[in-house]
Amino acid sequence: MEFTVQQIADLLQGQVQGDGNATVNQLAKIEEGTPGALSFLSNAKYEPFLYTTGATAVIVSKTLQLKAPVAASLILVEDPYSAFSTLLEVYQQAVAAARQGVEEPCFLGENSTIGERHYRGAFSYIGKNCKIGQGVHIYPNAYIGDNVTIGDNTVIYAGVKIYPDTVIGSHCTLNAGCVIGSDGFGFAPQKDGTYKAIPQTGNVVLGDHVRIGANTTVDCATMGSTLIGTGTKIDNLVQVAHNVEIGKHTVVAAQTAFAGSSKVGNYCTIAGQVGVVGHVSIADRTIVGAKSGISKNIKEEGTFVQGAPAFDYKQNLRAMAVFRKLPELQKQVDELREKL
């Protein structure tokens, strides 16, 4: 899609300084801008790039005082970062709106309904008795089992697998290859040392505006529901076991794992490669550093922990600082012991 600089300025309620008829067809960082690109300058640190960028146009603050001549056309706005975000959204919406209709062959089971303005890609599968809202995008090779409910404007990318009975809110994004509702990992140990599978009869319930990363797995509950609250964002390759409950507006980075029946509060930030053991509870607004292992309840809101097993973040930093010098510490102790 191609636009004139003036068109972009009108959209952003900004003013053009330079050539309003120049055209742009892609977005780029200011330090990587090439002809045809539209960039923005928000962080003062990047201002030097403004005078050298190859971008055709740059969105800047209307209070900016130029320190040298600029080749690019400028679009002057109140807040460049926020203007650029608006632009990105408009772009995304245009892309999304363009994707509508049904590609054949695709599969729609008995008694399933799907709302208007939807997209169903080739080889996508929808089982029986599903209720799917308006404006939902279901990409090729996605699988949606029986009795699944999906809210309006949710996007199911290619190859997503959703087991029967799952409930998904509106405005969710499920990235390619994620699995929602797989069998929980529950086995009853037998007297002879073998294991017998415990049937998993529950489901998964996702709130609205939930984001699930590529190839992330969310198991169904043994009974009841595995829950992920509204607004929560989960990165790629994360494991959410049976009966886990994650609150609202919590962010979880890649490759983290929540063991069975663990509970995570609202507004938490869980970094990457963290492990949370089964049945523990994490209070609201907890921050967990990367690679940490949570083995006990975190009861106080706003706690910041690090380490495996995790404890107070700053205390962990200090302990790690001594850890590096342990051989020296050992030597000092050896010397003291000799002296005595």
Annotated catalytic sites, by residue?
242
Q: Which residues fall within 8 angstroms of residue 140, CB to CB, at 6 or more apart?
A: 103, 121, 122, 123, 124, 158, 159
Would you say 17 or 316 has its CB closer to its own copies? 316
Strand order, beta sheet including 311-312 = 101-102, 119-120, 137-138, 155-156, 173-174, 211-212, 233-234, 251-252, 269-270, 287-288, 304-306, 311-312
The least CB distance from residue 286 to its own copies, in Å, is 14
Instruction: Give the Cα-Cα-Cα angle 132, 134, 136 (nearest 5 degrees).
Output: 70
The least CB distance from residue 249 to its own copies, in Å, is 5
CA 232/CA 225 separation, integer angstroms: 16
The least CB distance from residue 28 to its own copies, in Å, is 6
Would you say 15 or 86 has its CB closer to its own copies? 86
The least CB distance from residue 235 to its own copies, in Å, is 5
The least CB distance from residue 237 to its own copies, in Å, is 5
- Long-range CB contacts for residues 83-91, cutoff 8 Å, separation at least 24: 83/12, 83/14, 83/40, 83/59, 84/40, 84/42, 84/59, 86/11, 86/12, 87/8, 87/11, 87/12, 87/27, 87/38, 87/59, 88/27, 90/11, 91/1, 91/27
Kindly tell me the burial class for residue 218, based on how many C-beta atoms sit within 10 Å of its own C-beta (0-12, 13-18, 19 or more): buried
